[in-house]
Amino acid sequence: MKQLGFFSYVTLAFLMGCSSSSKDSKEIVGVDLQSIDQTIDPCSDFYAFSNGSWIKNNPIPSTESRWSNFNVLRDKNDSILISILKDAANNKGDANVGAFYRSAMDTNKINALGIQAIQNELERIDALESTDQLPSLLAHHDMIGLGSFITTSIYQDIKQNTKYTVYLSPGQLGLPDRDYYVLDHLKDKKMAYEHHVEAMFELAGYSHADAVIKRAEIMKAETILAENSFTRVESRDPEKTYNKKSVDQLNSLASNFDWNAYYTALGIDQLDTVIVEEPRFVDAFNALLSDDLSLIKTMLEWNLINVCASKIGDEFEQKDFEFYATYLKGVKAMKPRWKRVLRSANSSLGELLGKEYVKVAFSKENKEKVDKMVDGLIGVLELRLKDLDWMGEQTKAQALKKLSTITRKMGYPSEWKDYSSLSLTDESYILNWFKCNEFAYKEDLKKLGGPIDKNEWYMPPQTVNAYYNPVMNEIVFPAGILQPPFFGIDNDDAINYGSMGAVIGHELTHGFDDTGNQFDADGNLKNWWTDQDKKNFKEKAQKLIDQFSAYEVLDSTFINGELTQGENIADLGGLSIAFEAYMNTLSEEEKATKIDGYLPAQRFFIAFAQVWRNNQTDEYLKQQVLTDPHSPAKYRVIGVLKNMPQFRQAFGTCSTTEHSEHEMIKIW
Ligand SMILES: [Zn+2]
């Protein structure tokens, strides 16, 4: 739940994860012919051609807001993970995992306790007598994972990445984005949220009259904070979010809050500087502190109840689900409890589960094969960088240096996190969750002043996703995604390259997208471009922004081309590099050999389009467009293919369509 400042630069392949069709036989796994809709012309809508039948035959389950390959693979991973949890709960595994699972599955106890489970925390808020006591309380909230108003994280200094430093970021608001508070066309969502806040306070035991007052306080405070929050586009700008301040400066800029007391309570001594992600937000927070103390207390109370809602009994969880899942995302029914608990365990105890998961789900064979693919893709990108006609020699040398120093992590960490200082019990689910958050914070705190932990992973290995981290200049592929259908030793290579290869290419290209390209070969935020080359890059990127901004995904709902530009650049570069790398592995004879009626190049593009086949609710789509830096699945296919001459050539009949070559955008 925590919004870590640095994480905005770690670019994921997908926000929501992924899929499968496992086959036991040794025969080669090909593209999914059942998915194809032969009545559609591949040149007119390749996404619908590749996936039309699948889309028709795979409605969204009632427990989901979307259904895709990613969900199928995640389900498969879940079935492995749940047995790890159950074993641990029966004392055949890690003691902390066992206690976490038992406490979370004991719904009788959780329901009997209800809001009493957070009574201590409510009392601490109630005991506040002045804002002077706020710093230590906010520090406590931050450590246990609530992040009320503000949140602190420890991460490498992105301009001097050989040391760790302290980041100050906004805490979370109740609605998924600041836009919901400030944009007129989202007014109905804001109104529904107001009702939700009121209902939750009543559930917490307040009279209707009190709940109405509290609701007004929340809306007033959150709207002010939202108005002073960065947009998602602003948050993607690493220079804009890098505002180094001394604690003295912070004290004079936001003088209603004792920053020394706050950092001392967080256990951070002798702090020179802090990197303030959103100065405007800190100003607004500071101004709010002059307001009535009751408003501050209501905000703290609401944040506590809201963040904990899914762990303090059925009534709270149900209401929370109705608003956040049903109303905002169109989900009709809750997932079974074990799945909800598994998701929570993954985020709280990720590597403890991952350590067991990789024993059954990852092989040396997988790693070697993917390594080879990565080598092939890097080779292609290197040649492309050398050949770029829009980039001068000076910048090119730096780009090549950056490419040559990209490191990779594959499968799982070489060293596992040490959880020995964590000790969970059967007492309470929510207390266990607090303890896990505090443990994670304290582990991070230990890093301050120390050497960089190059082994650290920001995703546990069971995750169906991948990332590029510009500050380490590394690409990371958890075991969770190196699975069928994305990747498999028995897969037709057209599939391995069209799906996993495209993901690898995507992450590599992130190093050179509009954000990644502001970080140098060492991983520092430092310009290595000549002005002219940067200008050339921006002109090309603008074309992609314009192309995606014109896509209307629902009535008057358009993609935000600016917000999605980094991901779109990565998709385009990634697919095109993967295609070339795949072709390099084939002899001329192989290139002309059909399987299931399709040539390798054709199977490659079908496999790529099938990665993104999905059904989603309109509500999900609307929220995605507002909050997700990735374009909706369909447009990740058609938006990219529109710019690929290789696609047009593979389906020769497409040459007469809108895919006119001179309009195609090529960056990397
Ligand atoms: Zn990405």
> Per residue in 588-620, pLDDT tens?
999 999 999 999 999 999 999 999 999 999 999
How many angstroms does the Cα of residue 564 sit away from the middle of ligand 1?
9
- Per-chain residues with Cβ under 5 A from ion ligand 1: 11, 13, 567, 570
Q: How confident is the model at residue 662 (pLDDT cuts 50, 70, 90)?
A: low
Helices (H), ranges, 128-207: 134-143, 179-182, 187-203
Please tell me the predicted confidence (pLDDT) of residue 27. 77
629 alpha carbon – ligand 1 mean position (Å): 8
For residue range 46-88, what is the model confidence (pLDDT) as tens digits?
999 999 999 999 999 999 999 999 999 999 999 999 999 999 9
- Domain extents in the chain: 133-336, 366-411+463-588+614-663
From residue 432, alpha-carbon distances to 191, 344, 349, 558 in Å are 34, 11, 11, 42
Phi/psi at 341 (nearest 5 deg)?
-70, -40
Express each pLDDT in 458-503 by its tens digit. 999 999 999 999 999 999 999 999 999 899 999 999 999 999 999 9
With CA atoms as reference, report the closest residue to 390 among 84, 145, 666, 19.
Answer: 666
> What sign for the dihedral angle of Cα 516, 520, 524, 530?
negative
Kindly provide the b/e burial profile for residues 414-432, where b requires at least 16 CB atoms within 10 angstroms of the residue's own CB. eeebebeebebeeebbbbb
Distance 600 CA to ligand 1 centre (A): 26
Would the pLDDT of 29 be above 80? Answer: yes
pLDDT digits (tens, 9 = 90+) for 264-323: 999 998 898 999 999 999 999 999 999 899 999 999 999 999 999 999 999 999 999 999
What angle, 0 to 180 degrees and rounded to 10, lies between the N-to-C axes of helices 364-387 and 502-510? Answer: 50
CA diameter of the chain? 80
Beta-bridge partners for 392: none
Q: How does pLDDT run across 204-248, given as a tens digit for each residue?
A: 999 999 999 999 999 999 999 999 999 999 999 999 999 999 999
Determine the pLDDT at residue 655.
Answer: 66
Question: What is the length of the chain?
Answer: 668
Across all residues in the chain, what is the average pLDDT? 94
pTM over cut 0.75: yes
| Cα 336 to averaged position of ligand 1 atoms, centre (Å) | 30
Residue % of the chain over a pLDDT of 70: 95
Residue 212's H or E segment, with its range, is helix 208-227
What residues have CB less than 8 Å from 597, skipping those under 6 apart? none
How many other C-beta atoms lie within 10 A of the C-beta of residue 392? 13
Tell me how far the alpha carbon of residue 14 lies from the centroid of ligand 1, in angstroms.
6
Half-sphere exposure of 171 (CA within 13 A, CB side): 26
CA of 10 relative to ligand 1 center, distance in Å: 9
- Domain covering 133-336, topology: Neutral endopeptidase; domain 2 (1.10.1380)
How many angstroms is it from 534 CA to the middle of ligand 1? 21
CA of 195 to the centre of ligand 1 (A): 36
The alpha-helical segments, DSSP class H, found in 410-530 are: 429-447, 493-495, 502-510
Q: Would you state the pLDDT for residue 14?
A: 58
Distance 141 CA to ligand 1 centre (A): 31
Q: How far is the CA of 573 from the centre of ligand 1 (A)?
A: 11
Say how many Å lie between the CA of residue 247 and the centre of ligand 1: 35
Q: Is the peptide bond before 485 cis (omega within 30 degrees of 0)?
A: yes
Distance 509 CA to ligand 1 centre (A): 9
Rg (CA), the chain: 25
CATH topology of domain 366-411+463-588+614-663: Collagenase (Catalytic Domain) (3.40.390)
Q: How far is the CA of 570 from the centre of ligand 1 (A)?
A: 6
Measured torsion, CA atoms of residues 453, 458, 459, 460, in degrees rounded to the nearest 10: 30
What confidence tens digit (pLDDT) does each residue in 528-546 have? 999 999 999 999 999 999 9
